[in-house]
Structure 1
Amino acid sequence: MQPAPPVSASAQRLYERTRAQLVQVRTLLKGQASQSTVGSAFLVSGGGHLITNYHVVSQVALQPQRYRLVYTTADGQEGPLELLAFDAIHDLALVRAADGGLAGRKPLAFRPASQGLAKGERIYSLGNPLDVGFAVLEGNYNGLVERSFYPNIFFAGALNPGMSGGPALDEDGRVIGVNVATRRDGQQVSFLVPAEFAQQLLERSRDATPLTQPVYPQLTEQLLRHQQLLVERFLQQPWRPAGHPRYAIPVPQESFMRCWGTTTPADTKGLEFERSDCQMDTHIFITDWLHTGGIAVRHEAYDGRKLGRWRFASMYSRSFANESFPERTTRHRTAAQCRERFVDRDGLPLRAVVCISAYRKLRGLYDLSVLVATLDHPTMGVQGRFDARGVDYANALKLTEHYLAGYAWTGSH
Structure 2
Amino acid sequence: MASLPPATHELFERIKRRVAQVRIIESRSGTKSSIGSAFFVSADGHALTNYHVVSDLVMHPEDYTAEIVRDGQDPVAVKLLDVDVVHDLAVIRLAQPVPDFFQLLDKPPPQGTRLFAMGNPRDLGITIVEGTYNGLVHDALYDRVHFTGAINPGMSGGPSLTGEGRVVGVNVATMGNQVGFLVPVEHAQALLTRALAAKPEDSEPSALLASVGTQLREHQQRITERLLATPLPQQSLGPYRVPGRWLPFLKCWGDTPHDPEAQYTVTSYQCSSEDDLYLSSDHRTGAVSYNHQYLSSTKLGALRFSAVFSAYFSADPAVVEATREDVTNFRCNSEFVSTGGLTLRAALCLRAYKKFPGLYDLVLRAATLPSNNQGVDTSFTLAGFSPENARKLARHYLEGLSWTK
TM-score normalized by the length of structure 1: 0.92
1:175 corresponding residue in structure 2: 167
AA in 2 matched with 1:62: M
Instruction: Please name the residue that 1:191 is paired with.
Output: 181
Q: Which amino acid aligns with 1:372?
A: A
Aligned to 1:321: 314
CA contact (8 A) 1:85 1:94 kept: yes
- 2:309–2:370 Cα contact (<8 Å) kept: no
Query: How many angstroms does 1:340 deviate by?
Result: 0.8
2:126 pairs with 1:134: yes
Deviates more, 1:252-261 or 1:330-339: 252-261
Deviations 1:341-395 (A, max 9, x none): 1111143111101000011111010000100101151301110100000000110
176, 180, 201: which is aligned to 2:191?
A: 201
Give 3-state SS (helix, strand or coil) of 1:46's partner: coil
Tell me what 1:144 maps to: 136
Deviation at 1:308? 2.8
CA contact (8 A) 2:87 2:143 kept: no
How many positions carry a matched residue from both structures? Answer: 399
Distance change >3 Å, CA 104–CA 27, structure 1 → 2 = closer
SS at match of 2:66: strand
Q: State the Cα distance separating 1:151 from its structure 2 match.
A: 1.6
Deviation at 1:118, TM superposition (A): 2.3
Q: How does 1:258-277 map to 2 (within 5 A)?
A: 258-265=251-258, 267=260, 269-277=262-270
Check whether the contact 1:64–1:212 (CA below 8 A) recurs between aligned residues: no
Q: Does 1:54 align with 2:48?
A: no
Identify the residue that residue 277 of structure 2 maps to in structure 1: 284
Residue 69 (structure 1) aligned with residue 63 (structure 2): no
Structure 2: distance between partners of 1:84 and 1:275: 46
Structure 1 residue aligned with 2:355, among 356, 361, 379? 361
For 1:403, the equivalent position in structure 2 comes to 397
Matched, 1:338 2:335: no
Query: Which residue matches 2:231?
Result: 238
Query: Which of these residues, 244, 247, 256, is aligned with residue 249 of structure 2?
Result: 256
Residues 37-94 of structure 1 show CA distances to partners (whole Å, capped at 9, x for unaligned) of 1010001011110000111111112222221111110142431101110001000000
Give 1:310 deviation, angstroms. Answer: 2.3
Instruction: Return 5+ residue gaps in structure 1 as ranges.
Output: none
Q: TM-score, normalised by structure 2?
A: 0.94
Query: Which residue of the partner structure matches residue 31 of structure 2?
Result: 34
- Cα contact 1:343–1:351 (8 A) shared by 2: yes
Provide the rounded CA distance (Å) in 2 between the counterparts of 1:95 and 1:349. 55
Indicate which of 373, 380, 384 corresponds to 2:378: 384
Q: Which residue of 2 aligns with 1:312?
A: 305
- Give the alignment's Cα RMSD to 1 decimal: 2.0
Corresponding residue for 1:8? 5
Cα distance in 2 for partners of 1:7, 1:374 equals 63
Taking the aligned partners of 2:52 and 2:139, their CA distance within structure 1 comes to 22
1:198 aligned partner, one-letter code:
A
Cα separation, partners in 2 of 1:267 and 1:6, compared to 1, 3 Å: farther
Identity of aligned residues (%): 37
Q: Indicate if the aligned counterparts of 1:159 and 1:182 stay in contact, CA closer than 8 A.
A: yes
How has the CA–CA distance of structure 1 residues 121 and 6 changed in structure 2, closer, same or farther, with 3 Å as cutoff? farther
Does residue 1:297 correspond to 2:294, yes or no? no
Contact 2:282 2:323 in 1 (8 A): no
Long gaps (5+) in structure 2: none
Match of residue 45, structure 1, among 30, 37, 42: 42
User: Are the counterparts in 1 of residues 245 and 251 from structure 2 also a CA contact under 8 Å?
Assistant: no
The answer to whether the 8 A contact 1:123-1:169 is kept is yes
Residue by residue over 1:264-305, the C-alpha shift from the partner in whole angstroms, topping out at 9 and shown as x without a partner, is: 228565211211111112211100000001100110111112
